[in-house]
Structure formats: C-alpha cells, structure tokens
Amino acid sequence: MKRDRLPLAKWTYQIPEGEIRRLLKYQVKYYFGGGLPGALPVEKLATIVRDIGEDLLREIGNGQTATANRLFNYAKSPGSDSLRKLLLKQLVKRQELAFDPESDFEKMLITAGAQQSIYGLLDATINPGDYILSAGPSYLGFVTPAVKMGGKVLLCPSDEHGLTVEGVERAIRAVKRQSGAAPKMLYVISDSDNPKGTTLPWNRRKALFDIAEKEGMLIVED
C-alpha cells in the first residue's frame, strides 16, 4: 500500500490558526518576527572565546586535561553549579530576590533558551483537558506544545498595553461555568510581548498576580 503523505499526529490538527499564522500567508516588506539583535558585542565575545581556547591549549600542552575534559563533556542537567551560583548572585543583586546564592542555587535551572523551559514546565504541570489562559495573539512556541500536551488554550483580549485584566476575569468565569474549576495556568510575556511588542503596566501585573493567587492559577512569565 502506497501513501503519498505520512499521516501526522492528531494533536497537530488541534492547533488554532490564530492571527499570526493567518498573517504569515502574506508577503511582507519588513519582517520583525524573528529575533536578530544587532547590538551583540561580537568582538568582545570572540575575544573571550579565543582567550579561553588559548588557556586550555596551554594546560593541555602541560599535560593538564581535566578542565578541557570537563568543559567539552556532558554537564549536569540543571547546569553548572558555579554558573548557577553566579547567575543567582546577579539576580539577587539586581532584582533584590530573597535567595542565598550559595545554598539556593539548586532551585535554578539553566536551559537552552525559553523553549526548553516552556516544554519542561508544561510537561510537568499540564494534564489533558487543563485550561490555559494567554493573551491573543500569543507566542506560537507556547501554544503549540500546550496543545500537544492536551491543554485547552484560551486567548484573552489584549490592547496597546498587553493582556487586559477584564479579559482574563471573563475567561476565568467562562472556564468555571464549563468545567467547575479555574484555569490551571496563565501565560504572559510582560516585557516586549511576542508578537505584539507590548509591555504590561505595573498595575496590570499586580492585578493579574492577585487574581492568580485568589484562583490558585500558576503564572508563567516568559
């Protein structure tokens, strides 16, 4: 029996088209969808990589291969202990977080970008049928894995400032009427939202936090 096309998994047909997928059908002159920052310190980064390589070559030349083997081999899944301590120290300093870098670094997980974080978080928390709220239009990199894992994604209204509190409250009431329980999760990109580019005002962030705390919803801030 010959098949012209490999049948796809059923979940792929459950992904809502959404506004962004609809717009991608049209050819545009200027495309701002993909991140391509032009302000990277490429010279400084290249110099750092070169210096590290030269240091390793000197150690290897002296018969010391332990550092090179450690750097180029498999590392801990959560990330390097020393790097996590350093990053947590910076976060505590800049954002005044109540953590001790020396003892709390194991609460931090380093991932290969936000996408790995999103997949891991959804995999650990979402059961088939759980409701998830997000701004509409939403980041496709979140919606797709959420649907794949059986989540029911509801897109809430957004304006020039981002996700609206009233839209979230209406969605919660609708979910409660249908399922008898509040949504499991609220996904929000507070700064430079993808795809709209909006930044959520402080009063909305506080209101959404209060709502989530009251309803027992998990907030996922990307």
**Domain residues of the chain, as ranges?**
41-73, 76-110, 114-221
pLDDT of residue 23: 66
pLDDT of residue 175: 97
Rounded to whole angstroms, how far apart are CA atoms 17 and 143?
10
pLDDT of residue 189: 94
pLDDT of residue 103: 93
pLDDT of residue 87: 95
pLDDT of residue 97: 86
3-state secondary structure the chain: CCCCCCCCCHHHHHCCCHHHHHHCCCCCCCCCCCCCCCCCCHHHHHHHHHHHHHHHHHHHHCCCCHHHHHHCCCCCCCCCHHHHHHHHHHHHHHHCCCCCHHHHHHHCCCCCCHHHHHHHHHHHHCCCCCEEEEECCCCHHHHHHHHHCCCEEEEECEECCEECHHHHHHHHHHHHHHHCCCCCEEEECCCCCCCCCCCCCHHHHHHHHHHHHHHCCEEEEC
pLDDT of residue 96: 84
Q: Which residues of the chain have pLDDT under 50?
A: 1
| CATH code assigned to 114-221 | 3.40.640.10
